[in-house]
Amino acid sequence: MPDLQTAPALETDKRASRKISLPEILIVEAWCKGCAICAEYCPKHVFIMKDNLPVIVDLQACNRCMLCEMRCPDFALTVR
């Protein structure tokens, strides 16, 4: 099975003390060729590239536009 990097699906909103639903972004590292298209097309700068792989740095900023998933030529990203 390929290596997966996942982000947590729930986080507490400290202002409202309630659970908010965050997207889940799955990255199949074995399929990723490090083209950086996901990071370049993300309008919210959710990713940075580190060691030729995308790394999620700001999951709360993700607005589920799914441009990263749609643009990935290797289908290495999934947004839920």
Instruction: Look up residue 64 and give its two tokens.
Output: 């589920």
pLDDT at 20: 75
In this predicted model, what pLDDT tens digit does every residue of 7-57 receive, in sequence order?
555 555 556 566 779 999 999 999 999 999 999 999 999 999 999 999 999
Output b/e per residue, 17-44; b: 16+ Cβ within 10 A: eeeeeebebebbeeebeebebbbeebee
pLDDT at 14: 59
pLDDT over 90 (residue 3)? no
Count of domains for the chain: 1
Q: Which residue segment(s) compose the domain that 22 sits in?
A: 4-79
Q: Residue 33's domain is classified under what CATH number?
A: 3.30.70.20
76: phi then psi, degrees, rounded to nearest 5: -90, -5
